[in-house]
């Protein structure tokens, strides 16, 4: 489509993380085809009114999303908004405020021709002022609340080789851990010692004697005092950081609304439970709020005949954020099992008698849990450092008896009609125009975050689109 501009709409869910921090999660990407335009030329673009009304009603009125209006400028220079853009966008911001009661905010973006450079801004509803927000493509850049680069703490001297920036990013990353049992506890202990200080811990259970062979530094006294597992893991993390860490312990089920709300504010969700239902909820939350998800689990199988070797596995799964596949369509969890697990106790008991539920008091050993937890921590380190590209997702199974890491070919997992993760891209593109890579490949991948009072100081470095 050379010789003319292109535009696209990204519809985002607004998610207030804190008083002054909002994350916009893209849910739909619309690229109009030429027949959607009244008029399309180098001088400007006018969408057919009917089409325009249709997309706004669909995404703004019915789904309560905010709109990011994106267009391109010619050339390879870093693009800047033109006076014409200013005028049109101011009008558009007023139009949106006038037409829609829920008052969607207009975010606008301009890309250069190669779609490699961009600039974004957020308009007020009166169409008078706008705040600049910057944009980056990392899944992992946490919502930054400080610009002052801290010195790398001396406890991390031996990790300096990975770079100060990585250490700082780890220090700012907020991790929600669902499941503070045998795998979760080891995982938290290790990731905390790598440098992660901000945690949300979710687990409704208390420590029991049968946990003591797998929970680092847990004691009989803690069991006698009926410690919540979340408090125990909090204690583990606080042993690393007497100051400077923030740990929220939520002794709740992952299905609890407060737990869900809190998990959604994390930068990364990790699920390390032994049941299908909680993994399903974790995956649903990850998809809804476009959060990266890391799923950890082990499996031990002993055949009744005494001669065969036990089979021990651990599995680390990271579904892609773009929604190409998920734990459900990738068959990492069993939905029937999940449904049984969320059923009332009487039904669960009946099902258990009939042999339909496994995973209850499943066999577990500390060393296998540790392999699994370490692998998960390593993958997160790689994701944050950028030495792992996880766009396609990852599913690794360690087959201990055969000393083999099996890597699922994730290209076989792609599912275009999954009830849970099928992408919500409106394919209105004519196929010639490629929308920005980040948006096209994985639309719910970026978050747009800004801190409004910081931006009033026009410090773009403090506010970003991830």
Which is it for strands 174-178 and 130-135: parallel, antiparallel or unpaired?
Answer: unpaired
Q: Which of the stretches 164-172, 296-304, 331-339, 420-428 binds Zn ion when contact is defined by CB under 5 A?
A: 420-428
Do residues 461 and 410 touch, judged by C-beta distance below 8 A? Answer: no
Query: What distance in Å separates the CA atoms of residue 242 and residue 201, rounded to the nearest whole number?
Result: 18
Q: Nearest-CA neighbor of 59 among 398, 443, 462?
A: 443
Q: Among residues 18 and 84, whose Cβ is nearest to Zn ion?
A: 84
Q: Among residues 185 and 329, whose Cβ is nearest to Zn ion?
A: 329
Q: Among residues 152 and 278, whose Cβ is nearest to Zn ion?
A: 278
Do residues 178 and 261 touch, judged by C-beta distance below 8 A? Answer: no
What single DSSP character describes residue 385? H
Q: How far is the CB of 386 from Zn ion (least distance, A)?
A: 26
Q: How far is the CB of 326 from Zn ion (least distance, A)?
A: 3
Break the chain down into helix, strand, coil percent, rounded to 5. 35, 25, 40
Q: Which of the stretches 18-26, 115-123, 355-363, 419-427 binds Zn ion when contact is defined by CB under 5 A?
A: 419-427
- 306 three-class SS: coil
Q: How far is the CB of 132 from Zn ion (least distance, A)?
A: 15
User: Which residues make beta-bridge pairs with 299?
Assistant: 313
Q: Among residues 26 and 320, whose Cβ is nearest to Zn ion?
A: 320
Q: Among residues 85 and 203, whose Cβ is nearest to Zn ion?
A: 85
Q: How far is the CB of 188 from Zn ion (least distance, A)?
A: 27
What single DSSP character describes residue 299? E
Q: How far is the CB of 84 from Zn ion (least distance, A)?
A: 6
Q: Which of the stretches 202-210, 231-239, 400-408, 417-425 binds Zn ion when contact is defined by CB under 5 A?
A: 417-425
Q: How far is the CB of 415 from Zn ion (least distance, A)?
A: 5
Give 433-446 as a 3 state SS string: CCCCHHHHHCHHHC
Q: Among residues 182 and 330, whose Cβ is nearest to Zn ion?
A: 330
Q: Among residues 122 and 418, whose Cβ is nearest to Zn ion?
A: 418
Instruction: Report how many residues bind Zn ion under the rule CB under 5 A.
Output: 8
Query: What distance in Å separates the CA atoms of residue 66 and residue 26, rounded to the nearest whole number?
Result: 9
Q: How far is the CB of 133 from Zn ion (least distance, A)?
A: 17
Q: Among residues 173 and 439, whose Cβ is nearest to Zn ion?
A: 439
Q: Which of the stretches 175-183, 293-301, 342-350, 413-421 binds Zn ion when contact is defined by CB under 5 A?
A: 413-421
Q: Nearest-CA neighbor of 36 among 64, 10, 9, 75?
A: 9
Single out the residue of 421, 425, 448, 454 in contact with Zn ion (rule: CB under 5 A): 421
Q: Which residue in the block uniquely carries the two structure tokens 């610009």?
A: 147
Q: Among residues 326 and 392, whose Cβ is nearest to Zn ion?
A: 326
Contact between 390 and Zn ion (CB under 5 A)? no
User: How buried is residue 257: exposed, middle or buried, by Cβ count under 10 Å (0-12/13-18/19+)?
Assistant: exposed
Q: Which of the stretches 20-28, 336-344, 380-388, 411-419 binds Zn ion when contact is defined by CB under 5 A?
A: 411-419
Within residues 73-92, the interface with Zn ion by CB under 5 A covers: 82, 85
Within residues 293-332, the interface with Zn ion by CB under 5 A covers: 326, 328-329
Query: What distance in Å separates the CA atoms of residue 56 and residue 54, rounded to the nearest whole number?
Result: 6
* Residue-by-residue DSSP string for 81-107: --HHHHHHHHHHHHHHHHH-TT-PPEE
Q: How far is the CB of 441 from Zn ion (least distance, A)?
A: 16
Torsion, Cα of 427, 432, 438, 444 (10° steps): 0
What single DSSP character describes residue 309? P
Q: How far is the CB of 82 from Zn ion (least distance, A)?
A: 5
Contact between 420 and Zn ion (CB under 5 A)? yes
Q: How far is the CB of 419 from Zn ion (least distance, A)?
A: 7
Q: Which residue in the block uniquely carries the two structure tokens 């829609």?
A: 100
- 41 three-class SS: strand
Q: Which of the stretches 192-200, 344-352, 414-422, 430-438 binds Zn ion when contact is defined by CB under 5 A?
A: 414-422
What's the token pair of residue 58? Answer: 């669909």
Q: Among residues 398 and 420, whose Cβ is nearest to Zn ion?
A: 420
Single out the residue of 17, 418, 439, 466 in contact with Zn ion (rule: CB under 5 A): 418
Q: How far is the CB of 71 from Zn ion (least distance, A)?
A: 5
Q: Among residues 334 and 348, whose Cβ is nearest to Zn ion?
A: 334
Q: Nearest-CA neighbor of 236 among 251, 252, 256, 222?
A: 222
Cα angle 54, 57, 59 (rounded to 5 degrees) comes to: 105
Handedness of CA 255, 259, 261, 262 (dihedral sign): negative
Q: How far is the CB of 110 from Zn ion (least distance, A)?
A: 5
Contact between 341 and Zn ion (CB under 5 A)? no
Query: What distance in Å separates the CA atoms of residue 296 and residue 183, rounded to the nearest whole number?
Result: 7
Q: Among residues 175 and 295, whose Cβ is nearest to Zn ion?
A: 295
Torsion, Cα of 25, 47, 91, 87 (10° steps): 100
The interface mask with Zn ion, positions 364-383, x = CB under 5 A, is: --------------------
What residues line the site for Zn ion (CB under 5 A)? Answer: 82, 85, 326, 328-329, 418, 420-421
């Amino acid at each position: 489509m050379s010789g003319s501009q292109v535009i696209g709409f990204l519809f985002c869910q607004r998610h207030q993380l804190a008083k002054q921090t909002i994350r916009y999660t893209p849910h739909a990407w619309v690229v109009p085809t030429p027949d959607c335009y009244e008029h399309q030329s180098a001088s400007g673009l006018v969408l057919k009114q009917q089409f325009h009304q249709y997309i706004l009603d669909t995404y703004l009125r019915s789904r309560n999303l905010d709109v990011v209006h994106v267009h391109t400028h010619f050339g390879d220079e870093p693009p800047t908004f033109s006076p014409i853009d200013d005028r049109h966008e101011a009008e558009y911001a007023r139009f949106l405020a006038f037409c829609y009661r829920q008052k969607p905010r207009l975010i606008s973006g301009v890309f250069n021709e190669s779609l490699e450079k961009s600039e974004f801004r957020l308009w007020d509803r009166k169409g008078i002022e706008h705040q600049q927000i910057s944009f980056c493509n990392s899944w992992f850049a946490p919502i930054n609340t400080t610009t002052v680069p801290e010195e790398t703490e001396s406890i991390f001297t031996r990790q300096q080789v990975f770079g100060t920036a990585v250490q700082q990013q780890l220090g700012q990353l907020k991790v929600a851990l669902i499941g503070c049992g045998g795998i979760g506890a080891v995982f938290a202990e290790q990731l905390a010692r790598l440098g992660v200080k901000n945690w949300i811990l979710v687990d409704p259970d208390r420590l029991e004697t049968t946990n003591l062979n797998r929970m680092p530094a847990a004691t009989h006294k803690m069991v006698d005092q009926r410690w919540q597992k979340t408090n125990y893991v909090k204690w583990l993390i606080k042993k690393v950081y007497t100051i400077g860490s923030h740990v929220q312990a939520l002794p709740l089920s992952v299905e609890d609304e407060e737990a869900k709300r809190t998990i959604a504010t994390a930068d990364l969700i990790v699920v390390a439970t032994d049941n299908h239902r909680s993994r399903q909820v974790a995956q649903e939350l990850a998809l809804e709020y476009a959060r990266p998800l890391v799923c950890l689990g082990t499996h031990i199988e002993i055949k009744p005949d005494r001669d065969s070797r036990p089979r021990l596995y651990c599995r680390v799964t990271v579904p892609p954020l773009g929604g190409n596949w998920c734990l459900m369509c990738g068959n990492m969890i069993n939905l029937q099992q999940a449904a049984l697990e969320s059923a009332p106790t009487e039904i669960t008991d009946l099902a258990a008698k009939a042999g339909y539920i496994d995973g209850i008091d499943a066999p577990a050993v500390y060393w296998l849990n540790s392999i699994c937890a370490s692998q998960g921590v390593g993958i997160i380190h790689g994701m944050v450092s950028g030495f792992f590209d996880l766009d396609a997702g990852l599913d690794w199974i360690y087959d201990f008896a055969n000393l083999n890491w099996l890597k699922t070919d994730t290209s076989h997992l792609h599912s275009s009609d999954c009830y849970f993760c099928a992408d919500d891209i409106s394919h209105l593109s004519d196929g010639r125009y490629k929308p920005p890579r980040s948006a096209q490949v994985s639309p719910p991948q970026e978050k747009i975050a800004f801190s409004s009072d910081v931006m009033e100081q026009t410090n773009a470095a403090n506010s970003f689109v991830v």
